[in-house]
Structure 1
Amino acid sequence: MPETEVLEGSVRSRNGEVRAESVTEREDLFDETYKEKDGPKPPMIIVWKNVILMTLLHIGAVYGIFLLPSARMLTLAWSVICFLISALGVTAGVHRLWSHKSYKASLPLRIFLAFANSMAFENDIFEWSRDHRVHHKFSETDADPHNAVRGFFFSHIGWLLVRKHPDVIEKGKKIDLSDLKADKVVMFQRKYYKISVVLMCFTVPTLVPWYLWGENFWVSYFVPGLLRYAVVLNSTWLVNSAAHMWGNRPYDVNIYPRENKLVILTTIGEGFHNYHHTFPYDYATSEFGCKMNLTTCFINFMCFLGLAKDCKTVAPEIVLARAQRTGDGSARNRSG
């Protein structure tokens, strides 16, 4: 599998060639120069439409739980498949590929990940990547969209129920998004996002069980449809909330993100969060490769098929040195 070792200040390929890209200039590295504005915080403005929609979604998901015993085994298996596709649209797609540019994907793989991202329905690739780069660059400040300093509820779901802090909007306008604008798959998905969500997030998950093996339409809609969607959302949100609050910090004790085993499991590999915020350009988001990391296994398989390449990794000696210099002393246990 083609890989690229990331060293401090440069990106070095396996053959020793040093590229022009400097990791210190990336938009996903923390900006030490940002200072929060003095004075009172702006008032919190509730977006009632989002409150109502999220409430209805979770009521529907709870109802879906009660329908689980009546669902056919094929429907349950299909729900898991839809969950995995949705999750990959977030983890391998909008997160590791488009937000962090940690590997390169061919056109067929980018198209698949774009459809998978629409199945996840967490904002289009362009907007998700913009907000995520802002999150990394201004983590745990007023410019962070889901600032964990504001508490679990806010960082988990509350940030979607209120207007963004003015600093989030201001910094989002200044983030370099030229790579996303140049990607025709990203811009096509953005243009037709609403249609793609209706098709991928709700229509396909519902119609497949109903049409192919005669599942009850009600069960098809509430189990692989709404329940699966709610599980995907909350799994992703746990990265913003739980993984910024609970767990150890073997790589950098000075930042909020933690290594959280629950989040590792629920997000197919995204819970190695202290590592990820320390080395956001690593395609595996972990120093342990495929261990407890289905997304990394998927990317590796895509490389094997020739659909992905140039996976960026961090040299082991750099990881070890960083853990010894800024970690919390739990390095010996960091693999779980």
Structure 2
Amino acid sequence: MAPNTKVQPSSMPPEEEEYVKLVAPQAADRKYEIIYTNIITFTYWHLAGLYGLYLCFTTAKWATIIMSWLIFVSAAIGVTAGAHRLWAHRTYKAKLPLQILLMVFNTFAFQNTAINWVRDHRLHHKFSDTDADPHNATRGFFYSHVGWLLVKKHPEVKRRGKLIDMSDIYSNKVLVFQKNYAIPFIGMVCFILPTLIPVYCWGESLNTAWHITMLRYVANLNITFLVNSAAHLWGNKPYDKNILAAQNLSVSFAAFGEGFHNYHHVFPWDYRTAELGNNYLNLSTKFIDFFAWLGWAYDLKAVPVGMAKSRAERTGDGTNLWGWGDKDMADDERGGAEILHEKD
């Protein structure tokens, strides 16, 4: 789809009249200002990760691989159930112990601080696939996957970032702690401890432990990046055919349930990020459900089946992943009613 470079007059308040409405998909001509230190850093991370993958098959101990896998899963949950569903979209509420746990998990992922992640993600939803979207998918796969981190932010991202309400996030002491102590805390949790524990606890070599840490880290990065890139470029659009965000099963499998992206952009307030019946690949939803059962997560928000189905019929592309109206749909609808009753 060709980028739309046109803008429309804004309906924003008078004090913000200088802002014009960006119509997606939109990407005006721009000059990229490359951040060379980021290119060097990302190149090293990925080369080190590839070497770590080689070491997994040659010298690494099983304990190191298992520990890295557990941290990988925890880091993914910290992004999906934490930064994304809890803090960015407020799709549910969490008691302090769960917030602390998710903050630590999010620190394993190190995708900047959770506060910065939330700001960028709220901006992404408010101005999706335009120049005010930090990872504007209109500019193609590479840009939306990682290229946006290798160049300076588009001026519209900086300008419109000021419009994002972050008061709830800056009043969260758990997230403020992570931001205030970002360098020592993230460095220790994400890189140093996962490297030193295998060395001192079961005799792994420092070289192997470090490079497998790098492998785990870049794997987490790229899985999150796929939601920004692949899930905005390829897949079905059963809920809104007029947006770039799409349903992508492969991304959902890799990203713990985050690939039902067309649904998510239509209903960003649903804690599942996927319609009822599509949670077989949704480990993050199962994680939240477990802590809801435990009493640490509550006020879970979910879209009624009828509302989702009605929207699909009105603006969808007529396709689906699992099959609205299939022979199991009646059972799904009854199950959905029970789930909503329990969460309300």
- Please tell me whether residue 61 in structure 1 is matched to residue 49 in structure 2: yes
Q: Which residue of 2 aligns with 1:14?
A: none
Instruction: Indicate the residue corresponding to 2:242 in structure 1.
Output: 254
Quote the offset at 1:41 in angstroms. 3.1
Aligned to 2:186: 197
Matched, 1:119 2:108: yes
Is residue 2:159 matched to residue 1:170?
yes
Q: Does 1:280 align with 2:268?
A: yes
* Offset, 1:113: 1.0
Q: CA deviation at 1:291?
A: 1.6
Q: State the 1:248 CA deviation.
A: 0.6
Structure 2 distance, partners of 1:40, 1:83, is 37
1:248–1:330 contact (8 Å) kept in structure 2? yes
What is the alpha-carbon distance in structure 1 between the residues aligned to residue 28 and residue 266 of structure 2? 31
Partner of 1:209: 198
Mapping of residues 1-336 of structure 1, within 5 Å: 33-34=21-22, 41-69=29-57, 70-223=59-212, 225-288=213-276, 290-331=279-320, 333=322
Give, in whole Å, the separation in 2 of the partners of 1:176 and 1:63: 42
Tell me if the contact between 1:99 and 1:133 (Cα under 8 Å) persists in the aligned partners: yes
Q: CA deviation at 1:324?
A: 0.4
SS at match of 2:301: strand
Over 3 Å counting, the alpha-carbon distance change for 1:113 and 1:74 in structure 2 is same
| Farther off after superposition, 195-204 or 45-54 | 195-204
3-state secondary structure, aligned to 1:236: helix
Q: Structure 2 stretches of 5 or more lacking a match?
A: 1-18, 325-344
For structure 1, which runs of at least 5 residues remain unmatched after alignment?
Answer: 1-30
What is the count of residue pairs matched by the alignment? 303
Q: Deviations over 1:209-238 (max 9, x none)?
A: 222222222111111x10000000000000
Deviates more, 1:70-79 or 1:94-103: 70-79
What is the rounded CA distance, in whole Å, between the counterparts of 1:276 and 1:202 in structure 2? 32
SS across alignment from 1:251: coil
User: Structure 1 107/211 Cα, relative in aligned 2: closer, same or farther at 3 Å?
Assistant: same
Q: Deviations over 1:127-147 (max 9, x none)?
A: 110010000010011101000
After the TM superposition, list the runs of 4 or more consecutive aligned residues in structure 1 that deviate by more than 4 angstroms: none
Aligned to 1:20: none
Give TM-score, length-normalised by structure 2.
0.85
Structure with the greater relative contact order (CA < 8 A, sep ≥ 6): 1 or 2?
1
Retained in 1: the 8 A contact 2:236–2:320?
no
Q: Secondary structure at the match of 1:313?
A: coil
The offset of 1:334, in angstroms, is 5.2
Q: Deviations over 1:250-306 (max 9, x none)?
A: 111011011111111111111111110010000000113632100000000011111
Identity %: 49
How far the C-alpha of 1:196 sits from its partner, in A, is 1.5
Question: CA 1:268–1:40 in 2, change beyond 3 Å: closer, same or farther?
Answer: closer
Structure 1 position 76, deviation (Å): 1.3
Aligned-pair distance for 1:88? 0.8
- Residues in 2 aligned to 1:60 and 1:281: alpha-carbon distance in whole angstroms: 38
Distance 1:66 1:150 in 2: 33
Q: Is the 8 A contact 1:116 1:200 kept in 2?
A: no
Q: In 2, distance between residues paired with 1:214 and 1:40?
A: 54
Query: What is the TM-score normalised by the length of structure 1?
Result: 0.87
Does structure 2 conserve the Cα–Cα contact (< 8 Å) formed by 1:115 and 1:196?
Answer: no
Q: CA RMSD in A?
A: 1.9
Note if contact 1:250-1:334 (Cα within 8 Å) is conserved in structure 2.
no
Q: Work out whether residues 75 and 106 of structure 2, in 8 Å CA contact, stay in contact via their aligned partners in 1.
A: yes
* C-alpha deviation, 1:333, in angstroms: 3.6
- SS of 2:262's partner is helix
**Distance in 1 of aligned mates of 2:87 and 2:302:** 16
